[in-house]
Amino acid sequence: MAVDNSVAEKYKKIFHFSDNLRDGKVPTSALRENDPYQYQSGLGNHFESEAIPGTLPYGQNNPRVSRFELYTEQVTGSAFVTPRDKNKHSWLYRAQPSVANFGTGPPPDIPDVEANFSLGNPHVQIAPTQIGWLPFDMPQTNEKVDFVQGLKAVAGSGDPYVGEGVAMHMYLANASMEKRAMVNCDGELLIVPQKGTLDIQTEYGNLWVQPGEIVVIQRGQRFTVKLPDGQSRGYVQEVWGSYFELPNLGPLGSNSLASPRDFLSPIAAYDIDKSEWQIVYKQGGKFSACIQDHSPYDVVAWSGNYVPYKYDLTKFIYVGSISVDHIDPSIFCCLTAKSKDPITPLVDFLVVGPRFDVSVHTYRPPYYHRNCASELMGFIHGEWMGPAEEFYPGGLHFETGFVPHGLEPKVYNKATSLEPPVMKIMEHDLGFMFESSRPLLITNWAWNHPRKHDHDHSNVWGGLDNKFIKYQQQISAVIPMESGDKRTH
Ligand SMILES: [Fe+2]
């Protein structure tokens, strides 16, 4: 399916999705103009969808014989006894059940995915200071590299077999998955395309995901990524022992940030295909495969709440200070995944994009800070204005917990010498942060990558001079030495 790239370019320049609806000149739609699919709205709803009317059973889920002799299959994503408000499952009505395959075949060779982020693993490294990566190259080969083949783990913490942890990946691909489906048994995948549209086929239907949108594929679901634009690059956040959900809003009330109704799940669409398919499983970061003689996307109807979804980041409703100072970056939280610690998220997905900045008597860019979270920032489009130099779309920037960071001197001096105007900021820029409570380790693939660069620390932040010391005389006048002053001179 062809992509109208003028639409993709247009969405890089809009301030907010609602710009489409200005003056009623464009018909109201939940979708970008070039999205070919239909969706259902809401997050965590119990949806139902049927590609052939009358194929869903009513009053029960597992009839003795389904209409058209479809097989019934339940997919359960939570423990059976998980409380009702957290219980995740779906019922699929399909031409052949998933077990109709010929067993495990040769494993695919996908070498750069890691799932053991512990200090005993020689394939991961500690990053004690700020590091960055220039934009990662697309595959430098004439061979076809699809989404699953192009997965490259960058950082992570924990282990899916321990039941809690995270991993961050890049995908660098040049070809569609052909007769191949991926199943991630380890955890949910939050995918952030940076370059190239993703046309994703799932058992629940199709999702069209463009740069500026994200998609979440839950654990155990089958999906195939097609690349209608050819080369494609993006970021992936994987969570183990948890799942993505909307953050609580606290004093914000019932609205703002990401709205539940802006999350879109597919409608049923099926293929009856008697050709050979490879189903690739990822378990503990290792890949295996089985072969079957039919499409895995033969689901005619389904119901349930264990369903993939997408979200357009241009719909995010930013909040911020309307008087003085900054609010903590948690105000940018689009989705969060809980940890086993009830007061600490495992990871937050934060959106950083176009908004108004109106606070006064402060300086606008981020203050100097150290915090317990690991920050892995990605950049989708635009020109970054943050504290990191050499940060471009398709690249990464990383600080592990308590690594100090903030503005370089020239930006700080400019920001503190000017009276801040009320202004739109990051008008054509879109970035994000994977912010995790876990101390992240860096994979050897990322650590040894030619695009990795250290910051020129002494020539940048080393230039933050001591402005305080020149006020010695005035300070002495305020605090006389006789009062027990412990200052050194
Ligand atoms: Fe930070």
d(CA 95, CA 295): 10
> Distance from the CA of 192 to the center of ligand 1, in angstroms?
20
- Selection from 42, 41, 44 nearest residue 85 by Cα: 44
> Distance from the CA of 405 to the center of ligand 1, in angstroms?
6
> Distance from the CA of 12 to the center of ligand 1, in angstroms?
24
> Distance from the CA of 88 to the center of ligand 1, in angstroms?
34
> Distance from the CA of 328 to the center of ligand 1, in angstroms?
10
Please state, in angstroms and as integers, the Cα–Cα distance from residue 247 to each residue in 189, 242, 428, following that order.
18, 14, 26
> Distance from the CA of 427 to the center of ligand 1, in angstroms?
21
pLDDT at 43: 97
Task: Give yes or no for a contact between 156 and 346, defined as CB atoms under 8 angstroms apart.
Answer: no
> Distance from the CA of 324 to the center of ligand 1, in angstroms?
20
> Distance from the CA of 231 to the center of ligand 1, in angstroms?
31
The backbone region for 256, taken as left when phi is positive above 0, alpha when psi lies in -120 to 50, beta otherwise, is left
Partners of 232 in the beta sheet?
173
> Distance from the CA of 285 to the center of ligand 1, in angstroms?
29
Please state, in angstroms and as integers, the Cα–Cα distance from residue 245 to each residue in 190, 235, 304, following that order.
11, 19, 16
> Distance from the CA of 132 to the center of ligand 1, in angstroms?
13
Which two tokens mark 456? 């020129």
> Distance from the CA of 369 to the center of ligand 1, in angstroms?
7
pLDDT at 27: 57
> Distance from the CA of 335 to the center of ligand 1, in angstroms?
18
d(CA 458, CA 467): 18
d(CA 278, CA 221): 14
Please state, in angstroms and as integers, the Cα–Cα distance from residue 75 to each residue in 7, 91, 375, following that order.
36, 6, 34
d(CA 425, CA 386): 11
> Distance from the CA of 392 to the center of ligand 1, in angstroms?
17
Segment holding 472, helix H or strand E: helix 472-478
Contacting residues for 303 by C-beta, under 8 A, at least 6 apart: 46, 47, 48, 49, 56, 61, 90, 91
> Distance from the CA of 228 to the center of ligand 1, in angstroms?
35
> Distance from the CA of 258 to the center of ligand 1, in angstroms?
21
> Distance from the CA of 19 to the center of ligand 1, in angstroms?
30
Which two tokens mark 414? 């400019």
Query: End-to-end CA distance of the chain, in Å?
Result: 72
pLDDT at 25: 66
Task: Give yes or no for a contact between 193 and 209, defined as CB atoms under 8 angstroms apart.
Answer: yes
CA torsion 170→175→176→179, rounded to 10°?
A: -110
> Distance from the CA of 407 to the center of ligand 1, in angstroms?
10
> Distance from the CA of 342 to the center of ligand 1, in angstroms?
23
d(CA 375, CA 433): 6
> Distance from the CA of 291 to the center of ligand 1, in angstroms?
46
pLDDT at 363: 84
> Distance from the CA of 483 to the center of ligand 1, in angstroms?
39
d(CA 209, CA 374): 27
> Distance from the CA of 345 to the center of ligand 1, in angstroms?
16
> Distance from the CA of 240 to the center of ligand 1, in angstroms?
24
pLDDT at 23: 65
Mean pLDDT by 10 residues, the chain (489 residues): 79 89 69 94 96 96 96 97 96 97 90 95 94 95 95 97 96 98 98 98 98 98 97 98 97 97 98 95 96 97 98 97 93 97 96 93 88 95 73 94 89 87 90 95 97 84 90 88 56
> Distance from the CA of 367 to the center of ligand 1, in angstroms?
9
Task: Give yes or no for a contact between 284 and 92, defined as CB atoms under 8 angstroms apart.
Answer: no
HEC assignment per residue over 418-456: CCCCCEEECCCCEEEEEEECCCCEEEHHHHCCCCEEECC
| Cα–chain center distance at 271 | 29
> Distance from the CA of 396 to the center of ligand 1, in angstroms?
13
d(CA 375, CA 347): 10
d(CA 128, CA 399): 8
d(CA 122, CA 21): 53
Task: Give yes or no for a contact between 180 and 278, defined as CB atoms under 8 angstroms apart.
Answer: yes
- Compute how many other C-beta atoms are within 10 angstroms of the C-beta atom of residue 409: 13
> Distance from the CA of 366 to the center of ligand 1, in angstroms?
8
Question: What domains does the chain contain, in order, with CATH numbers?
Answer: 36-313 (2.60.120.10), 316-469 (2.60.120.10)
> Distance from the CA of 197 to the center of ligand 1, in angstroms?
29
> Distance from the CA of 375 to the center of ligand 1, in angstroms?
6
